Amino acid sequence: MKIVDARGDVRLLNALTGNRLMDDPAIDQRARQIVERVRQEGDEALTTLTRELDCKFIDSLGLRVNAKEIENAWKKSTPEFRKALQKAKTNISRFHTKQLPKSWSISGKGTRLSQRFRALNRVGIYVPGGKAAYPSTVLMNALPARIAGVKQIVMVTPANSEGKIVPEVLAAAHACNITEIYRIGGAQAVAALAYGTESIRRVEKITGPGNAYVAAAKRIVFGTVGIDMIAGPTEVVVVADATANPAFIAADLIAQAEHDELAAPIVVTTSAALAPRIAAEVERQLSMAPRESIARKACDRQGVIAIVKNLRAAADVVNAIAPEHLEVMVESPRRFGEAIDHAGSIFLGPWSTEALGDYVAGPNHTLPTSGSSRFSSPLGVTDFVKFTNIIEVSRQGFEALAPAAETLARAEGLFGHAASVTIRRKKK
C-alpha cells in the first residue's frame, strides 16, 4: 500500500481518491446491445444469451428455479448457517421496521392536504454470482421490501456453468419467502426485469449490486423502471490515531479488498509512526489470505495510507472522499463521527468492524459508492414505497387561494392556468 504524507496538502490525497465511478464505453455499448435484444426478442434472446455467457444447459433446466430446488437448499444447509440467517434476518428486520413512513394530512381553512404512501407492487432484486456468493444480498434487499409491503419479489442470480445456483443463496431466498427465482444474470437479467419477456413479468423497480454490465444495464433501463443506485467498486476508509490497532485496521482493509481488484482500501491517520506498521501488517495478513490474488491487486493499485496533521484534517479528507464505508478507530470515535457529513455507513470504535454491518448488525449494507454518499443514502424501506400528494379544496379554500394562483399563472404567461381559476371565481 502507498504511504502518502498529506500533512502539508490534503489535496494530494484527494487527487488519489477522486470519483471512482468508471464509465467504459465498450461495456456500455455491449450492455445496450444486450438490453435491446432482450427487449425485442424476449425469452429467445434471454435463453440464448444465458447459454452463451453462463450456463450451456439452460434449455433443459429452464429459466425458473423450481420450488423443490429452493426447499432442498434450505433443508440441506447446516443448522449453523440457518441459525446465522435467522439472526441476521431478525436484526435487519428490527432496524428497517423503524424506517416505515406514515401517511399524513394537514387542514386549514377550506383545505385538506395529504401525502399518502403505497408500497411498490412488484420489484426485482439482483443477486451477484461469479467471484463470490452473496446470501446477505438477498436479505438486505428482500427484507426492506417485505417490510415496506411489497407483495411480489422476483430474484435473478446467475447460475454456474452447470446451471446450479449457490445453495446458500437459495436458502436465504427461502428464509425471505421468495419463490420466484430465475437463473439468469448480467445485463440480460436486468433487461428481462425491466421490459418483461414471455416468462418473466416486468417489475417496477430493480435493486441489488452487480458487475459493470449490470451497472450499465441499470443505467440504460432507468426511467422505464426505478433503480436503487449505480454501484461502483467497494471502498473503505479507516481513520486512525496512535491508539489504533494496526492488525485490526489491516484485517478490515483486506476484508474490503477481497471483494474486487478495483476495491479501494484507504487509511487516514494522524500518526506517522502507525503508517508503516499498518503497511507491514497488511503485507503479513495478505500472505495468509485465501483470496490473496484479488486483495493484493486492490491494495497495490488503490490502497493508500495517508498521514494528516490532525483529526480536523482527517474529517475534511473523509468528507471529500464521501466513502461507502467509514471506520473510526480513534480515542473518541463518536465525537469524530459527528464531524462527518458524507459516508454511507459509519462504524465507530475498534469493535465495530465493517463485516458486522455486512451481515448481522441490522443496517443495510447496500450503500452509495464512488462519492455518491454526498447526495444519496443506503438502501432502505423508503426505496420500496412511493408517495402521492392529495389536494382537497372547498369553495371557501378556493376563494382564499385563487387570487394568488391567478397572479402567478399570468406572471408565467400561462393564461389557460389563470382562466381555469377565473372561471370558477365568476361562478356564484
Residue-wise pLDDT tens digits, 371-403: 999 999 999 999 999 999 999 999 999 999 999
Q: What is the pLDDT of residues 403-418, one digit of tens each?
A: 999 999 999 999 999 9
Indicate the residue among 320, 340, 362 that finishes a domain. Answer: 362
Residues 194 and 303 in one domain: no
Residue with cell 487509511: 267
Q: State residue 185's pLDDT score.
A: 93
Identify the band that residue 112 occupies on the pLDDT scale cut at 50, 70 and 90.
very high
CATH code for position 222: 3.40.50.1980
* Grid coordinates of 73: 437448499
Is residue 381 situated within a structural domain? no
Give DSSP secondary structure letters for 248-313. HHHHHHHHHHTT-TT-EEEEEES-TTHHHHHHHHHHHHHTT-TTHHHHHHHHHHH-EEEE-SSHHH
Active site residue 412: no
Is residue 385 situated within a structural domain? no
Identify the band that residue 68 occupies on the pLDDT scale cut at 50, 70 and 90.
very high
Q: State residue 393's pLDDT score.
A: 97
* Grid coordinates of 106: 394537514
Identify the band that residue 312 occupies on the pLDDT scale cut at 50, 70 and 90.
very high
Q: State residue 362's pLDDT score.
A: 98
Q: State residue 428's pLDDT score.
A: 62
Is residue 372 situated within a structural domain? no
Is residue 93 situated within a structural domain? yes
Q: State residue 20's pLDDT score.
A: 56
Is residue 367 situated within a structural domain? no
Is residue 277 situated within a structural domain? yes
Is residue 69 situated within a structural domain? yes
Q: What is the pLDDT of residues 170-209, one digit of tens each?
A: 999 999 999 999 999 999 999 999 999 999 999 999 999 9
Residues 43 and 136 in one domain: yes
Whether 11 has a pLDDT exceeding 90, the answer reads no
Active site residue 259: no
Whether 15 has a pLDDT exceeding 60, the answer reads no
Residues 236 and 223 in one domain: no
Indicate the residue among 342, 362, 382 that finishes a domain. Answer: 362
153-175 average pLDDT score: 93
- Residue 55 gets the label, from left (phi > 0), alpha (psi -120 to 50) or beta, of beta
Q: CA neighbours within 13 Å on the CB side: how many for 241?
A: 15
More confident residue, 425 or 56: 425
Residues 412 and 317 in one domain: no
Q: What is the pLDDT of residues 262-276, one digit of tens each?
A: 999 999 999 999 999
Whether 17 has a pLDDT exceeding 60, the answer reads no
Residues 31 and 10 in one domain: no
Angle between helices 135-148 and 79-97 (to 10 degrees): 40
40-66 average pLDDT score: 88
- Contact by Cβ (8 Å): 106, 56: no
The strand pairing partners of 222, in sequence order, are: 225
Q: State residue 73's pLDDT score.
A: 96
- Give the neighbor-by-neighbor strand order of the sheet with 2-5: 2-5, 304-307, 264-269, 235-240, 325-329, 345-348
Residue 402's domain comprises 394-426
Residue 211 three-state SS:
coil
Is residue 176 situated within a structural domain? yes
Task: State how far Cα 291 lies from the chain centre.
Answer: 23
Pairing type for strands 111-119 and 104-108 reads: antiparallel
Indicate the residue among 362, 378, 405 that finishes a domain. Answer: 362
Amino acid symbol at 210: G
Identify the band that residue 256 occupies on the pLDDT scale cut at 50, 70 and 90.
very high
Closest of 274, 359, 326 to residue 88, by C-alpha: 359
Whether 251 has a pLDDT exceeding 70, the answer reads yes
Whether 321 has a pLDDT exceeding 80, the answer reads yes
Q: What are phi and psi of 321, to 5 degrees?
A: -75, -35
Q: What are phi and psi of 188, to 5 degrees?
A: -65, -35
Residues 352 and 400 in one domain: no
Residues 43 and 126 in one domain: yes
Among the listed ranges 20-29, 113-122, 275-284, which one has the minimum average pLDDT value? 20-29
Pick the catalytic residue: 258, 325, 354, 406?
325
Q: State residue 42's pLDDT score.
A: 96
Closest of 369, 403, 120, 399 to residue 260, by C-alpha: 369
Contacts (Cβ under 8 Å, ≥6 apart) of 49: 34, 37, 38, 186, 188
Query: In the chain, what percentage of residues exceed pLDDT 90?
Result: 87
148-161 average pLDDT score: 94
Whether 145 has a pLDDT exceeding 70, the answer reads yes
Q: State residue 130's pLDDT score.
A: 58
Residues 135 and 64 in one domain: yes
Pick the catalytic residue: 168, 235, 324, 327?
324
Highest mean pLDDT among 61-65, 127-131, 179-183, 209-213: 179-183
Q: What is the pLDDT of residues 339-353, one digit of tens each?
A: 999 999 999 999 999
Q: For the chain, what is the domain count? A: 3
Residues 90 and 188 in one domain: yes
More confident residue, 20 or 226: 226
Residues 182 and 245 in one domain: no
Residues 409 and 341 in one domain: no
Residues 58 and 83 in one domain: yes
Q: What is the pLDDT of residues 209-227, one digit of tens each?
A: 998 999 999 999 999 999 9
Contacts (Cβ under 8 Å, ≥6 apart) of 428: none
Whether 120 has a pLDDT exceeding 90, the answer reads yes
Q: State residue 22's pLDDT score.
A: 59
Torsion of CA 51, 54, 57, 58, to 10 degrees: -70
Whether 255 has a pLDDT exceeding 70, the answer reads yes
